[in-house]
Amino acid sequence: MMQHVDTESLRRSAFEHLWMHNADWAQVAEEGGPLIMVAGDGVRVTDSAGVTWLDAHGGYASVNVGYGRTEIADAALEQMKRLAYFPQGATTEALVWLARKLAEISPGSLERTWPVTGGSEANETAVKMARAYHRRNGEAGRYKVISRKGSYHGATGGVLWMGGGPGRRPDFEPAYPGMVYAPHPGHYRCELGGRDPSECALLCAKAIEDLIILHKPETVAAVIGEPAASGSLVPSGEYWPAVRDICNRYGVILIADEVVCGFGRTGKWFGMEHWGVVPDIMTVAKGMTSSYLPMGAAIVKREVAGAFAGEADLFSQALTFGGHPVAAAAALENIRVIEREGLVSRSAEMGSYLLEGLTALMGKHSIIGHVGGLGLLIGMELVKDRSAKEPFPPEAQVEDMLRRKFRDRRIILVCGPSGFKLCPPLCITRDDADQLTTAVDEVLGELASELAGMIS
């Protein structure tokens, strides 16, 4: 039984002392929040008032094996009882076995792991590695990094400036030097005017090559991108092989940001496997431990890591909690759960089922502009005019309406001004998927009715 929790006291304390991520404490309080979660099981969590919610976003698209996995908690506890940390210059059994396991499941010659505590750190580390690698090869002028507009690679000082739009970046200016932006191969709104997914993919890959030539290859260190971004932004099959070939041709390091896509999220262990492409550096976090403890890594090709062998070529970086043995033990058990329960193939199966159900709603709701995804990384874009792909204006307050309507149905979903994305735990069932599809159907019907005057 759940112990009694004084919800109001907790909320008052949160209002006075807690600085939540991406939230204004006054607005949260006005809306009756924050929600304070006290328990979880599978795809569902229970709040302090005893209300159960379906978490359709799996935490931060990160609780891959689902909530309530006591075997992961037990593995962490056993490690903590044996050895909670380690002396400087030493390592631990759990981390060694984890590094070996990551080498086994990673594609190609991605064989050496640099452990960190999260996705932002993993990407920061990968960029530093790329720049340091070129220095060791006598090309110290290679410092620029090409990322894609519409991507997200973290919130720390360097990676904050990769991908995406300006957002709240003015708070943190001046901009980090060497950032170069390429078009994203999202074919629904292809920046380069591609008439179909294949043409968009090839044009966007060619744009990366054009940027390398424009900035001169001797200044470009790396290209970074997520295999699939923001749920519905899945590139056509030509894109990643073309980008891999371009990076090879100009001696540029290819970094695959698998922080969201990794560990079964897309229906394969790692997203790049859908295209048979092996990056030079692969960054992971989130599903690595299913968020049971903070951990991430930069997994590096043998050929790249070899440049750092020897005392004179040491990669100079240390993170106090990078490779923490308790987190490593949790990661190992998390991977065992994924393997034991076949959650990679389950993600592919349930992703197809959920995507099919959501796509079928396009025949019923004209405000659906696009539905797309890969495995259990799915997005839906809403428009006021499907033929023109015209989005709703800000005054429509689509984001607030969506969030409120899904909340009324006890579904936690990340919504934006143009739609939403679903990244549920990989243990989702058909009944869970049907509940989500039904909720989306109802919410869109209500939304269309309330915004009827705006819809073309």
According to the model, what pLDDT value does residue 412 have? Answer: 95
Residue 323 pLDDT more than 60?
yes
What pLDDT, in 10s, does the model give residues 415-443?
999 999 999 999 999 999 999 999 999 99
pLDDT of res. 22: 75
Write out pLDDT tens, residues 438-448.
Answer: 999 999 999 99
Q: Label residue 24 by pLDDT band (50, 70, 90).
A: confident
> Is it the case that residue 31 has pLDDT exceeding 80?
no
How confident is the model over 296-312, as pLDDT tens digits? Answer: 999 999 999 999 998 88
Same domain, yes or no: 295 and 417? no
pTM: 0.96
| Maximal C-alpha separation, the chain | 69
What's the whole-number mean pLDDT along residues 8-12? 89
Q: Are residues 332 and 269 in the same domain?
A: yes
The 8-class DSSP code of residue 252 comes to P
Cis peptide leading into residue 174 (ω within 30°):
yes
Does residue 246 surpass a pLDDT of 80? yes
pLDDT tens readout for residues 54-99: 999 999 999 999 999 999 999 999 999 999 999 999 999 999 999 9
Judge if 379 and 406 occupy the same domain: yes
| Tokens encoding 129 | 């590695």
For 412-432, b/e burial (b = at least 16 CB within 10 A) is bbbbeebbbbbbbbbbbeeeb
Give the domain extent around 421. 44-65+342-450
Q: What are phi and psi of 452, to 5 degrees?
A: -55, -35
| Residue 86 sits in the same domain as residue 103 | yes
Same domain, 264 and 119: yes
**Shared-domain flag, residues 213 and 313:** yes
Q: How confident is the model at residue 4 (pLDDT cuts 50, 70, 90)?
A: low
Each residue of 383-400: pLDDT tens digit?
999 999 999 999 999 999
Q: Of all residues in the chain, what percent carry a pLDDT higher than 90?
A: 84
**Given 340, 359, 384, which residue is the final one in a domain?**
340
- Considering the domain boundaries, does residue 378 fall inside one? yes
Residues 283 and 123: beta-carbon distance below 8 Å = yes
Q: Do 167 and 281 share a domain, yes or no? A: yes
Give 371's strand partners.
Answer: 380
217 and 356 co-located in one domain: no
Express each pLDDT in 127-184 by its tens digit.
999 999 999 999 999 999 999 998 999 999 899 999 866 666 888 888 889 999 999 9
Instruction: Classify residue 456: in a domain, yes or no.
Output: no
266 shares its domain with 379: no
Tell how far CA 85 is from the center of its chain.
Answer: 28
Nearest Cα neighbor of 221 from 243, 250, 241 is: 250
Of 340, 372, 406, the position where a domain reaches its end is 340
Give the span between the Cα atoms of 61 and 56, in whole angstroms: 9
CATH code for the domain in which residue 333 is found:
3.40.640.10
The three-state secondary structure class of 184 is: coil
Start-to-end Cα distance in the chain: 51
Closest residue by Cα to residue 261 from 152, 145, 138: 152
* 359-365: average pLDDT: 97
Report the C-alpha gap between 252 and 217 in whole angstroms.
8
- pLDDT(1) > 50: no
Say how many CA atoms lie within 13 Å of 439 toward its Cβ: 25
119 lies in some domain: yes
What average pLDDT does this structure show over 222-226? 98
Q: What mean pLDDT, rounded, does the chain reach?
A: 94
Same domain, 5 and 139: no
From 99, 94, 69, 97, select the one nearest 79 (Cα to Cα).
94
Residue 186 in this model has a pLDDT that exceeds 60: yes
Any domain includes 25: yes
Buried-state track 205-224, b at ≥16 Cβ within 10 A, e below 16: bbbbbebbeeeeeeebbbbb
Helices (H) and strands (E) in the chain, counts: 13, 15
What whole-number distance in Å separates Cα of residue 428 and Cα of residue 422? Answer: 12
- 152 in the same domain as 208: yes
Q: How far is CA 154 from CA 94, 100, 184, 205, in A?
A: 27, 26, 17, 23
Tell me, what's the pLDDT at 54? 98
Angle at 426 between CA 44 and CA 332, to 5 degrees: 105
CA separation, residue 445 to residues 154, 365, 371 (Å): 35, 7, 16
CA distance 323 to 350: 32
Tell me the residue type at 393.
Answer: P
Would you say residue 206 lies in a domain? yes
- Closest by Cα among 357, 384, 386 to 370: 386
Joined tokens for residue 219: 């200044």
pLDDT higher at 274 or 232: 274
For 405-414, the pLDDT digits (tens) are: 999 999 999 8
- Number of domain units in the chain: 3
pLDDT digits (tens, 9 = 90+) for 104-134: 999 999 999 999 999 999 999 999 999 999 9
Residues 41-57, mean pLDDT to the nearest whole number = 96
Residue 455 placed within a domain: no
Asked which of 13-17, 163-167, 254-258 is least confident by mean pLDDT, the reply is 163-167
Edge-to-edge strand order for the sheet containing 179-182?
Answer: 110-116, 296-301, 281-284, 253-257, 220-225, 144-148, 179-182
Which pLDDT score, from 0 to 100, does residue 165 have? Answer: 64
